[in-house]
Chain A
Amino acid sequence: MADAAPIVQTLDLTKSFGMVTAADRINVQIQGGELVGIVGANGSGKTTFINIITGYLKPDRGRVLLMGKDRTGSPPRAIVKLGIARSFQIPQLYTSLSVLENLLLSLAARAGEATTFWRPLYRSSWMEDGLQTLERFGMKAYAHRPVNELPEGGRKLLDIALSFALKPQLLLLDEPTSGVSIEDKFQVMDTLMKVVEETRLTTVFVEHDMEVVQRYGRRVLAFDNGRVIADGTPEAVLADPEVRKAVLGRV
C-alpha cells in the first residue's frame, strides 16, 4: 500500500490574514489508516489548516491534493463528496430537529437525496443505519429528543457522528474536546476512538490539550505560527523542548 496516494497532501500551503501568517509553506502528507493529532497554541494555524483542506478558505499560495488530485479551491461540498468530512469546534447542528433527524439528514446527503421531495426521510434502511451510529456514539436513548436536550459532550459527539455518518475516507476533528468538562473529556474521546478503531477510519484531530493527544494519537504534528515545527510519534514530539515552549509556553 506504500504506492497509494496519500489521502491528503499539502504543498507549500500559505495563507495570511492581513499581518498574521496563519499558514506558512505547510507541507504535510496524511496516509490512509493514520491517526494523527495536531497540537499548537491558539492562533498557531491549526484550524486554518483544516479550513483550507476542507475548502472553507482558499490558500494564498500552495496546493491541496486529495487522493492524488489537485483540489485547491474546491468548495466544501465538493470536498465532502470526495470523502473528507470534518467536525467543528462549536457543534454545527440542526437545532430545531431531533437527534435522529440530524443523522438522517446526513445519510440523505450522502445518498445525494437532499432534494428528494416525494420519498420520506424516515425510511427503514436509513433509520437502521442512523440508530446504529447513535448507538456507537452512546446516544441512542436521545434519538427522538430535541438536540438541545443533549448534554454538552453529547452535542460534540453528535457533531462528530454527523460527519462520521457520511462514511468518509478521512475524518478531521476540530478540537473534539473543547467546551467539554474535564470529566467528560476522556469519555468523549474514548467513545470516539473506539469507533475509529473499529472502523479503521483515517482520523486527524486538532487539540490543544497535550494529554489527549499523547493518549490517543499515533502521530503528532506540532504547529507554531503557521508552520509545522515537529512531526513524529507522540513521545518524540511532545518531549521536544521547542514544541513544549511553543505549545505550553515553557520547556
Chain B
Amino acid sequence: MEQSRRIPVGPILSAVALLAVPLVLPDWMKFIVTLALSKFLAVLAVALFLRAGMVTFGHAMFYAVGAYVVGFSNKLFAYHGILVLLVIGALVGAGVAALIGLIMARYREVFFAMLNLAFSMMLYGAFLKLYWVTGGTDGLGTGLPTFLGYTPARDNLRDVQYYATLVVAGLVIYGVYRFLASPLGYYLKARADNEIRIEYSGESVQRVIYATYVLSGALAAMGGVLAAFTVGHIVPEYAFWIQSGDFVFVAILGGFESVAGPLVGAIAFEFIRTYASKYFPNEWQMVLGIIMLVIILFRPGGIWAIYESLVAKVRRPKGEVAHG
C-alpha cells in the first residue's frame, strides 16, 4: 500500500467523534458503541481471515473464551482488573488457538469453516452443560471492572468503561495497521491468490495460517473480555455459531479490506440490531438478512467500499484518485 500524504480527514473526524461520545450521547447509546467497539476486535480477527480468502465460522469460541475468563475470574477470585484480564484473556485465547490451530492450519475452504464451527459448538456445549462450573444457561456475572486499581464511581462507570474500551480499540487499530503492512499481512492476501508461489518461495502456507490463527484468537478473546465487562453478564451463547456468523456478517457489512470497515460495520450492526430488535422483535433478523443480501449482491465491498467510492468521486476533479 502506498503511503498517502493527504490529510486523513476521515480518521481524524472519526477519532474526534468517538472521543466525544460520552459527552454527547445518552447512556444507552454509549452502551451500544462500547459493545460495538468490543465486538469490533472479534470482527477484525475474522476480517484477517477473509483477507486471506478463508471463512471462519467459529471465531465466537475465542470471543467466548475471553468472556469466560472474566466470568471465572469473578466467580473464583472476585478479581475484576480489566487490564490484567485483557492480558490473561489474550493469552488464553492465543493458547486455545495455538492448540486448535495445529489442526486448523491444514484445512481450507468449507472444511476450514466447518472445523471451526465444530470446535466452537463443542465449546458451546461444554459451557452449556457443565453448569456447575459455568452456570449453564444462567451464565456468570462479571462484577464491576476496576481500571489499574481504580474503581470508578457508579455514575462514571459507563464513561470510564467506554474510554478504556476506546483506548484498547485504538491500540489494536494501531497494531493491526502494522500487521497489515508487515510481511505476514501481505502473505495473507498472497495466500488468497496463490499458495503454490508461497511454497515455492520456501515458505510454508501452513505457518502463515497458523501464525494468523493464534493472533486472531488473542484478538477475539480480548474483544470477549471487553464485551463481558460491558454487558456485565456472560452466557454460553457467546460461543454459539450464530455469534460467529454475526462476526462474519459484520466483516462483510463494513468491508474487510480495511481496518475502518469492521469498525464502521460493528457500530452500524449494533445500532441496527438494538433499534430493529426493539421495534421489530420478530422481524429484525429478517431486516439484517435483507440488508446482507443487498450488500452481497450489489456492493460486496461493504459500507467502507461505498464510502471510498464516494470519496473518490469527490476527489477525482483534483486528480487525486487513491490506489489501495
Contact = CB atoms under 8 A, between A and B. Distances in A.
In the complex they form, whether A and B have CB atoms below 8 Å apart is answered with yes
Interface of A: 54, 75-77, 80-81, 85-86, 88, 92-97, 101, 104-106, 108-110, 112-122, 144, 162-163, 166
B182 A116 contact: yes
Contacts of B178: 117-118, 120
B208 A115 contact: yes
Contacts of B190: 94, 97, 105
A217 B192 CA distance: 37
Contacts of A110: 201-202
30 contacts: A54-B200, A77-B200, A80-B199, A80-B202, A81-B202, A92-B194, A92-B196, A92-B200, A93-B193, A94-B193, A94-B197, A97-B186, A97-B189, A97-B193, A109-B203, A112-B203, A113-B183, A115-B184, A115-B187, A115-B208, A116-B183, A117-B178, A117-B179, A117-B182, A117-B211, A117-B215, A119-B182, A121-B182, A121-B185, A144-B2
Given A80-B201, A105-B201, A163-B200, A118 B182 contact: yes
A85 B197 CA distance: 11
Contacts, number: 105
B199 A114 contact: no
A162 B193 contact: no
A93 B189 CA distance: 12
B200 to A, nearest CB: 5
Given A106-B201, A121-B182, A114 B208 contact: yes
A85 B203 CA distance: 12
Contacts of A106: 201
Given A88-B196, A162-B201, A163-B200, 10 more contacts: A77-B202, A85-B200, A92-B200, A105-B186, A108-B183, A108-B187, A109-B201, A109-B203, A115-B208, A118-B178
Contact of B197 (A81, A92, A104, A119): A92
A95 B192 CA distance: 9
A241 B181 CA distance: 57
Interface residues of B, number: 29
Contacts of A81: 202
B196 A115 contact: no
A80 B211 CA distance: 21
Contact of B189 (A96, A112, A116): A96
B320 to A, nearest CB: 16
Contact of B185 (A76, A94, A117, A144): A117
Contact of B203 (A88, A93, A114, A144): A114
Contacts of A166: 201-202
Contact of B183 (A88, A96, A97, A115): A115
B151 interface: no
Contacts of A118: 178-179, 182
Contacts of A96: 189, 192-193
B318 to A, nearest CB: 20
B295 to A, nearest CB: 21
Nearest to B323: A144
Contacts of A86: 200
Nearest to A115: B211
B200 A80 contact: yes
A50 to B, nearest CB: 11
The 6 closest A-B CB pairs, nearest first, are: A109-B201, A80-B202, A108-B183, A114-B203, A117-B184, A92-B197
Contacts of B199: 75-77, 80
A39 B72 CA distance: 69
Contacts of A54: 200
B53 to A, nearest CB: 10
A106 B183 CA distance: 10
A77 B198 CA distance: 8
B206 to A, nearest CB: 10
Nearest to A104: B186
Contacts of A76: 199-200
Interface string B310-324: 000000000000010
Nearest to B176: A117
B129 interface: no
A114 B208 CA distance: 7
A99 to B, nearest CB: 13
Interface in B122-181: 178-179, 181
